[in-house]
Structure 1
Amino acid sequence: MTGKQDPVLIVGGGIAGMACAISAARNGVDVEVIDKYGPMATVGIGITHAANVLRVLRDLDVLDECIATGGPFDGWVFTDANGENRRRVDMPRLAGDDKPAMMGMTRPDFARVLTSGARREGARTRFEITVQSFEQDESGVDVTFSDGSRQRYRAIVGADGVHSQIRPMLFGDLGAPRHIGQAAWRVFMPRLPEINDLWLCDSGQGGKAGFVPLRSDLMYLYLTDTYSEPRPPEGDFAEILFERLKVFGGPVGECRDRYVRDGREILWRMFEFVDLPPPWHRGRAIIIGDAAHAASAHLGQGGAMAIEDGYVLGEELGRHDSVEQAFAAFMERRFERASSIQRWSQQICEWERDKSPDADAPGLTAKAFQLVQQPI
């Protein structure tokens, strides 16, 4: 523990930024978080927390609140397009025998838990404000904000997502987002009684559909789809998704017929990859989470890697007097792990896109599960 006079600025109030704020504050670091959006603004529908995430949320002292708010479960169910030939894979309970192995949450609920956790630990938050510029020297960072104010910090953390503002300020075009031809559809709907795990249903034609439990009464249906252009399809989303799901029967087909065309909101989002070369830091500024290594959803680990980043960086900032040493220790713990997950999720994405006959998604998924069970 060290007595640092200047605070650390975290740019981005999403999952990486708030996890970092909680972790750093719990380790004695003075922390301020800013975000360009308003409080509780979120992108997306829901988020899956795998076993390694629950372990971190336990250590951040927010797991019980997440469990009370979300939809806990213990594994995956793999099926064919008709929901048959079911194979269940249990996941380890890394957060403790009395905790679930996995869970889903709505993104607004998760944002509320993290933000309240950060404030409870003493982190300060400011919303609807951005960084206009910053200047570094040997002892700190002078930051000018969009409202004209100026303040000095010990370090600056860019945790502001795929389309980061801070990353190009440090690295120019390095790590700019790229698309590789796949997107995901997602839509909220009432939870079916039989959906007690994360479901993945193979269409047999490259794409996958399935369900993620979010609460006792809520889940979302997802579909991975192939697109050559990084822009939303033209036309009525409900009709397009209904047609895309026609290959599926079983629970997916049932939910397609009951809910997809009933007027509820449907989200479409292209998978974007960010692979910033190491190190992810220059001077007293560092990039973490999706801003450094965004991946697709194929392994359910994109958000997990962002949360782990925040947790580890908070620990290292509290452990070291030197920002340089803290950043180096962070990279030592994070680069290989996060990069492997990103590389493997991209491989599965490409297999699905190309309908590869040599694809081994189950094997690569098992390899990823083995990795993330290891200590961070």
Structure 2
Amino acid sequence: MQDQNKAKQILVVGGGIGGMSAAISMRRKGMDVDLVDLDPQWRVYGAGISITGPTLRAFKGVGILEEVMQQAYTGEGIQVCDVNGKPVHIVPTPLVGADDVPGSGGIMRPLLHSILSRRTRELGTQVRLGITVDSLRSDDDGVDVVFSDGSAQRYDVVVGADGVFSRVRRLLFPDAPGPEYTGQCVWRITVPRPASVVRRMFFLGGELKVGLTPVSQGEMYMFLLEPAPRRDIIPDAELPSRLSRLMQGYGGVLQDIRENLSDSSHIVLRPLEGFLLPRPWEKGRVILIGDAAHPTTPQLASGAGMAVEDALVLAEELAQQPSVELAFEGFMARRYERCRLVVENSLEIGRREQARAPMEKQAELVEQSLRVLAEPI
């Protein structure tokens, strides 16, 4: 009788990093999984992302670490420099248990999407594109789902992994808080990687925080955090000149990047938003993971990692617990405080950056957080 309460048919809403990781993890546990994504082309936007040792450990858990290491960048430590590019000290990246898991890295979003989407399909997930959910009705035995194309189906569990503006979250908790602008926006640009850049780098002590992350043998991306009021979209043609002005006064490799900005530079500008959804993240047999529940800012480079960890833990709990209710309880017990630390500490680091706190005060919270995140999930 108990086995009848276990989840066998799963719907994952959202085909981003968290959703694909959930589909992969659940298929590997023997569950049948459907995945839907609103974008009919299943595209991915943005530049590169920084990844920590715990995130790489999570990639190992979903079975993609080796491919990431072959095609992206992995290494150890974060080099902290002053505004002139002079090395100050290295923030250590703690070991996360296994010798085969590096301490940090970087990858282009399209490459990560390609790796995960291919693995998702290879494992037999049924992927449907161009649709989302219109309604969810949960009872003791399952969830009746009506899709935006008018079709309907019943599942044992529905996983909302549909991002910061989650449709599933609005259906479950229409009065829940949403993401808030933090007062910072992030500029990103992908550029050639010189031989001198051998690990992730932070440039602190100036008006703005700037960083570099290698993403392959030949490329890296630069990010620049700008305190600014929320504003209208800036035309693409104006982005190079505005970024050039923001980078004035920075030396070393950053000066080289600034001098090579041009009309052909592909610059991505985004506002930073984040929040932590108060408990519960579940209602009936529907549960939220990743950015649908805890979107964070990039100060700890852990947003993607938290989504992948959510996926791994949820799959484990659904497979080992005798009921969906106990699986959800186990998931929340393992995930809430860890995700809260990432969101709250990332936001605090952002506040320190905007207040131009000494570089030691900025770096110390990064180090403290990375030590905690290195602990087992």
Alignment of 1:34-113 (within 5 A): 34-94=36-96, 96-113=98-115
Write the letter of the residue equivalent to 2:51: H
2:142 to 137, 140, 143: 140
Q: Which whole-Å CA distance do the structure 2 matches of 1:46 and 1:2 have between them?
A: 43
**CA deviations over 1:127-165 (Å, ceiling 9, x no partner):** 111111121111111111111111000111111111111
Provide the aligned length of Structure 1 versus Structure 2.
Answer: 374
* 2:96 and 2:375 in contact (8 A); partners too: no
Contact conserved, 1:12 with 1:36, CA < 8 A, in 2?
Answer: yes
Q: Deviations over 1:264-305 (max 9, x none)?
A: 211000111121101211111111111111111111112111
Q: CA deviation at 1:99?
A: 4.2
Mean CA deviation greater in 27-36 or 88-97: 88-97
Question: How far does the alpha carbon of each residue in 1:166-222 deviate from its partner, in whole angstroms, 9 at most, with x for none?
Answer: 1111111313111120010001111111111111101422x2112111111111111
Unaligned runs of 5+ in 2: none
Matched, 1:343 2:344: yes
Do the aligned residues in 1 keep the contact of 2:53 with 2:93 (CA within 8 Å)?
Answer: yes
Residue 232 of structure 1 pairs with residue 233 of structure 2: yes
2:124 maps to which residue? 122
Compute the TM-score of the two structures, normalised by the length of structure 2.
0.94
Question: Equivalent residue for 2:32?
Answer: 30
Matches within 5 A, 1:1-376: 6-94=8-96, 96-205=98-207, 207-233=208-234, 236-258=238-260, 260-356=261-357, 360-376=361-377
Deviations 1:76-103 (A, max 9, x none): 1100111013322342343632443222
Structure 2 SS opposite 1:374: coil
List gaps (5 residues or longer) in structure 1: none
Do the aligned residues in 2 keep the contact of 1:182 with 1:271 (CA within 8 Å)? yes
Q: Give, as a single letter, the amino acid of the residue that structure 2 aligns with 1:12.
A: G
Distance 1:305 1:229, change over 3 A: same
Instruction: Give 3-state SS (helix, strand or coil) of 1:360's partner.
Output: helix
TM-score by length of 1: 0.94
Displacement of 1:60 in angstroms is: 1.6
2-structure distance, mates of 1:105, 1:125: 24
Cα distance change, pair 215–86 in 1 and its aligned pair in 2 (3 A): same
C-alpha displacement of 1:321: 3.5
Question: Would the aligned equivalents of 2:53 and 2:374 in 1 still touch at CA under 8 Å?
Answer: yes
Matched-pair contact (CA < 8 Å) for 2:230–2:271 = no
What is the one-letter code of the residue matched to 1:200? Answer: F
